[in-house]
Amino acid sequence: MANPARLIINRWDCLVTDIAADDPVQLLKALIACPSVTPEAAGALDLLDKSLTGLGFAATRLRFEGDGSYPVDNIFAIRGNAGRRLLFAGHTDVVPAGDLSDWAADPFTPREANGKLYGRGAADMKSGIAAFVAAVAAIPADAGTIMLAITNDEEADAINGTDKLMAWAAAQGHNFDFAIVGEPSSATLLGDSIKIGRRGSFSGLITVEGIQGHVAYPHKANNPLPTLARIVAALSDTPIDQGTEHFPASNLEVTTIDVGNPVSNVIPARGTLRFNIRYNDLWTPDTLAEWVRDRIAGVDKGESKVRFEIAGTPSRSFLSPLSADVETLASTIESITGRRPELSTGGGTSDARFIAQHGPVVECGLVGPSMHKADEHIALDDLTGLTEIYRAFMTRFFAGPAA
């Protein structure tokens, strides 16, 4: 672009400088300088609003609240109204920095050293946003339709963020042909992996009610622990499935067993256990709940009252179709890095699960091992490399589906 949009950042503690929209390094530095710990946007969305508006986008600011969570600011930006439609999604919020003594410098003051850029959010995932915006600056405005859905609540509740933002966009008629989430999807080298799906997450709480009593008079009490132990064994020892073509076997982990009993001469009144299942596309939350109930029924002898409940809101698994657009992205990455990316479904959950309800989505971003750690960082060469991947992909994407 001959005259990329420029902007001045002058609120909160964001970097005060003149930023070219096609410079991912300077844009990332400015984003890092916004201490946008969930749900405080701290100027990060203002920065993007100005940058995207300068590139010809119409930006809409949306604040969602309620449903038992805090209010969250979001932004939806769109440029173009014809041709193929590409959505980019991401989040500006970051996790807290933690103990500042663990950092070599202020986590919200971007710092370059030895070819790396340090700061909270550098890897997860302000870098993905900076790379995409910089790449868009090189794409002609009439190439097609480009949309960005950016939330400031992915790291915590994720209730008033991408889920509601995508529902709003759909209600406005903003559909898409393909979507990219800029999460750090690479494992060890830029572009070595893109995520075409994610496992679901299902948490549960099981309570076994007994009768408290003295250990010397067990006939006057009802110890809930033998039943609890049988349930733990039934859940842990029974394979859920054998996996699918693109997903590993679903896995259950018991995460805590509690009785609230600090002494050895009292039979506890009750015991609880919590567990989490990371599951593949063979299951839904409803069918998993039935699987858990069947395991409980198989070992419950009726000696104690057993209660099972789903904890929180389960995250559904999803798998995007292996379309021509996925192939275009993979071949683009290979042409730039010299490596064919692995098509992965590993890791935890992400906001891609909300986008998958509306259309095909993949995750493509930087290397992520330092995310959420002290001295979080990225390699500057990777940032410019990701920008080139996005730019080259958009050029191919808007030229039409791969043959």
Check if the beta carbon of residue 32 is closer than 8 Å to that of residue 47. no
Give the C-alpha separation, 167 to 74, whole Å.
13
Check if the beta carbon of residue 246 is closer than 8 Å to that of residue 319. yes
Instruction: Answer yes or no: 154 catalytic.
Output: yes
Q: Which of 260, 253, 211, 249 is nearest to 232 (CA)?
A: 253
The DSSP H or E segment spanning 373 is none
Neighbouring-strand partners of residue 60: 76
Instruction: Answer yes or no: 65 catalytic.
Output: no
Q: Give alpha helix (H) positions in 7-125.
A: 24-32, 44-54
Catalytic-labelled residue, pool 49, 73, 93, 153: 93
Give the C-alpha separation, 286 to 314, whole Å.
10
Sort strands 6-8 and 18-20 into parallel, antiparallel or unpaired.
antiparallel
The tokens describing 63, both together, are 């604040």
Catalytic-labelled residue, pool 154, 163, 183, 382: 154
Residue 362 gets the label, from left (phi > 0), alpha (psi -120 to 50) or beta, of beta
Give the C-alpha separation, 97 to 108, whole Å.
9
Residue in this structure with the two tokens 């008629």, named with its chain if needed: 173
Residues carrying an active site annotation: 93, 154
